[in-house]
Chains A and B, each alone.
Chain A
Amino acid sequence: MAYRVNISQTDSDSESDFEDMGGSKPGQGTFRFIREPAASTQRCPESLQMDNFRECTGANREDLPFTASGHMRDETLDTGQRKSLQRHHWSAATLKVLSSMPSRTAGINAVIPKYARDSSQQPQTSSHDSSHHSKSIQADFVQEEMEEISAEENKYEQLVSNLRGLSVSEAMRKLRATPLSLADKMRVRRLAFRDVDESSFISRNIACYRRLGLYISRTWRHCLFSCLSVLASLQLWHSPMKILSGRFGTGVLSYFLFLRTLLLFNLFLFTINGLFLVFPQAVNPPPHDLHSNNFTGLELLTGTGYLSQSVMFYGFYTNTTLTTCRAVNATKTADLPICDPLQPQMVPYSIPAAYLFTIAISFFIICIILVYSMSKSFGRSFQVLKSNRNLAGNIFCIWDFKVSKNTSVRLQSEKISTQLKELMSELTSGEDAKSYTQRLCRLMVHVLAWVICLISIVLSAMAVHYLSEACITQSPFKDTELLLLPAVVSAINLLLPGLFNLCTWVENYDSPSVCVYVSIFRNLMLKVSLVGVLCFRWLGRIAVEPESHGLQCWENCVGQELYRLLLMDFVFTVLYTFLGEFLWRLFFKQVLRRNRKPVFDIARNVLELIYGQTLTWLGVLFAPLLPAVQIIKLFVLFYMKKSSLLLNCQASRQPWRASQMTTLFVSLLFFPSYLGAAVSVTYTIWTIKPSTECGPFRNLTTMFHSGKLWVQQLESSNTLLFWLSWAYDFLVENPLFLFVVNGVFLIVIYVHSQVVDGQRRIVSRLQKQIENEGKDKKFLITNLQALFERSSLVSPYR
């Protein structure tokens, strides 16, 4: 008795849920999808069934309500089969009740896709069995179907009306994310946007200004889409990347995507520098003395001689203001015509100010882009619920659909089965109970490996330092000796990571991801220390006392060193790729007679890219065309790495978690690389005295000073801009303001982190609640079923 009431309650609840559907949450980003429970599509027969239950007379199980609808009888016959599939051996009636629970039948805005419609028709074929109630039930079923179809039409209309309530772009976004077939989506779109697409010129009810507004918005939308499609079609290297991902999977692809991102950054830097800095100065070159004009090929590599006087380096730029005409009594620019106040003139273009502001603004924009992409990538890879072993998720996400080559597909299957086998063995045998001595042994090995790595890093940093000191004391620099320091740095960068890989191989970490993180960390430490030592050399030694080293133009020298470092790095990478990987494969094949090709070390290559980008960012202040060199280098690197991969390497057998690794790489690009470069550049601009004889900042105390001078100049020529200098004095020069701003940022970050912490705690609590509810449900259903079975065997029903 009691539970008849319960069931009809569920019944009415589920119906009301369907009514609820229309009016809810247009602002929600995602649709929750209705599926009709496959085991039952009928909502009425619950009450029908219970009625029959009451009417049944026999104590025989066969005559129980379950026979009222032949559907049920078939299900009891099939229980045997189903038993093997279900864990808890619920009876058919229980299953029916379970599948019409509110949590299963409630949905919000979506329309039932036709798959559910098709599948829901399957059990109905078994329902038309003969039983003495079948006719009335059939009629009900037919009525059910019609109700269903009209309910579907209702849902279509609800979807359409929901879409109409939103703005066009929001509605389009929602429509695209709905799980309907394309034909249905187009139908819904036609219904929803009938009025917007029709030419509204014809209708006289629309006011004139609204007509114009609609016309403008439509043409703007068309323009925007065509522009976006042009930009999207600039998909550089689309087909090579497809071939690579088809053969090697997502991990290797992420390296090439990263390379492409860096290329775009450098392209951006190059365009900005080119437009605002290089082009104006190149068009008005300064007079240069022709004492070094014999052009040998070595100069391309060392950056001295002819190149040092070119637009490539800092020394080329002058501290003049470019104008097209001159004032009446100006003597320096005697070759320009005298300014005629009546004729239009070019705005005087101050090269020092342009230099300072171009560099500053491009760094600022890059900072914003990096933070944005970091946060987006972090958001995508963030794991909401902490799960130690998400086997289920792993199984469904493990198959990389991009892999298309036959051998790679087979390799992938092997990889998956190995992983699963390892997991199963771990589960069955439990954690390896390592003995005390074994654990101690492993600890010793780890400590030893770390000590070796750290010592090697420190030694190499010291070597570079001493070499640099030796080079400094022994000036003037000869041409070939200039290449010694970059060669040593690149050689260290090439060989030491090999040592680190050897150490991790010996250490034999349990989990492959820990192994990857450890090797990335060691590699990163090496590069950070090398770049740090070099920065000290440039900013701490060369820049501080340039005259004692016989340098007229220390910025030129630093720029040239960075140029050489970049090129040497490229040369060594080429050598390693061609000789290293190729020879390795030959060695394995001929000497060891094994067909094992080397594996592409993604982490190491990505760190190489980040190192190169750091050098570029450091050098942009001293050599504005350095991004161009980096662009050429990245371009060639792409094709080289691609061909080397396809010829020499094979796919890795270790799983590679692409999205988390991409987040890590973007964060590494931001945190040590970009921030380090930005800090060095800021330090240079703010504190170091520029050289007196070359460059746009000669005769100033700091490079930053030129900005102030320019603002003062503007103010004097145009008194309306006094607020600019006031703002400059108050905001930029005042340390208190900067402290306050920083303090506010830190507070905001702290508040956000506390909020995230609290949300995480709530999420874990809710998860526990869900688990408890599941247990409750299971308990109730088991007991109700037991009760039902007992009462069905014992009591009569009249």
Chain B
Amino acid sequence: MGNKQTIFTAQQLDSYQDCTYFTRKEILRLFDRYRDLAPQLVPLDYTCQPDVKLPYELIGSMPELKDNPFRQRIAEVFSDDGEGNMTLDDFLDMFSVLSEMAPRDLKAYYAFKIYDFNNDDFLCKSDLEKTLNKLTRNELTEDEVRMVCEKVIDESDLDNDGRLSLEDFQTMIVRAPDFLSTFHIRI
């Protein structure tokens, strides 16, 4: 109901609305943002579901992501091919999970994936070290980084195998109420 738009069919918009945390208006606005990244690549008519993928360089140049140290991981986690090249569906999915209304468990799942640099479903010591270095822009010495990683694993490794599984991560997130407000991008 409302304005006539010809980018999506009504079913497509309904389906997007049901599967993301966005309203119609926000979905159309996000489409405009997506298209603005590469107007010559993205058609104005998505009713026939064209297969358009924007390369990672364009996604990573968005003002919301441009200076984020984790932007490459974010793009890789949400992209279909794991390289950061995103279709419109991936784009919507990414901002939906990072929006205000996504529940804690869903965000924790994707946060885990983002911090898991080697994609082995565990946060091992190297993942933690890389995370720390990205957080502090390599300002901590190696000793300090090692100490912090050991303490982190000590604190949250509940099943004692030297690395953090998804359950450990989620238990840890439950204890940190700020997670919902920091793992959030406004678009």
Interface residues of A (CB under 8 A from B): 30-31, 33, 35-39, 85-88, 90, 95, 98, 103-104, 115-116, 118-119, 122, 172, 175-179, 181-183, 185-186, 189-190, 197, 222-223, 225-226, 228-229, 232-233, 241-242, 245-246, 250, 380-385, 387, 389-406, 409-410, 413-414, 416-417, 420-421, 423-424, 427-428, 657-660, 770-771, 774-775, 777-778
Contacts and interface: CB of A to CB of B under 8 A. Distances in A.
B110 A179 contact: yes
Given A30-B103, A176-B18, A413-B135, A770 B179 contact: no
Given A37-B121, A115-B119, A380 B180 contact: yes
Interface string B169-187: 1001111111111111110
Contacts of B147: 424, 427-428
Given A88-B162, A396-B111, A777-B159, A384 B175 contact: yes
Most B-side CB within 10 Å, residue of A39, A183, A397: A397
Contact of A393 (B103, B122, B153, B175): B175
B173 to A, nearest CB: 7
A186 B180 contact: no
5 contacts: A176-B19, A391-B151, A396-B173, A404-B66, A775-B160
Given A189-B19, A242-B186, A391-B151, 13 more contacts: A36-B121, A38-B122, A85-B163, A98-B161, A116-B121, A181-B78, A181-B93, A383-B175, A392-B152, A398-B135, A399-B182, A402-B182, A417-B135
A119 to B, nearest CB: 5
B185 A402 contact: yes
Nearest to A415: B136
Contacts of A403: 67
A413 B140 CA distance: 11
A741 to B, nearest CB: 34
B113 to A, nearest CB: 6
Contact of A404 (B1, B11, B68): B68
Given A397-B178, A401-B182, A229 B122 contact: no
A778 B140 CA distance: 32
A231 to B, nearest CB: 9
Nearest to B155: A392
Contacts of A392: 151-152, 155-156, 172
Interface stretch (B34-42, B52-60, B125-133): B125-133
Nearest to A405: B67
A181 B68 CA distance: 23
Contacts of B1: 222-223, 226
Contacts of A177: 102-103, 105-106
B67 A417 contact: no
A658 B159 contact: no
Given A392-B152, A417-B140, A424-B144, A382 B177 contact: yes
B66 to A, nearest CB: 7
Given A189-B15, A401-B185, A179 B109 contact: yes
A578 to B, nearest CB: 28
A416 B162 CA distance: 25
Given A189-B18, A385-B174, A228 B185 contact: no
Contacts of B26: 232
B120 to A, nearest CB: 4
Q: Which 3 A-B pairs have the closest CB atoms?
A: A393-B176, A87-B162, A417-B136
A380 B144 contact: no
B93 A85 contact: no
Nearest to B77: A115
Interface in B71-106: 77-78, 80, 82, 89-90, 92-93, 96, 98, 102-103, 105-106
Contacts of A175: 18-19
A229 B23 contact: yes
B178 A659 contact: yes
Contact of B89 (A181, A190, A197, A771): A181
A383 B104 CA distance: 14
Interface string B129-150: 0011001110110001001100
Most B-side CB within 10 Å, residue of A186, A189, A250, A428: A186
Contacts of A98: 161
B131 A397 contact: no
A395 B16 CA distance: 33
B126 A85 contact: yes
Contacts of B184: 401-402
B172 A118 contact: no
A84 B185 CA distance: 36
Contacts of B65: 404
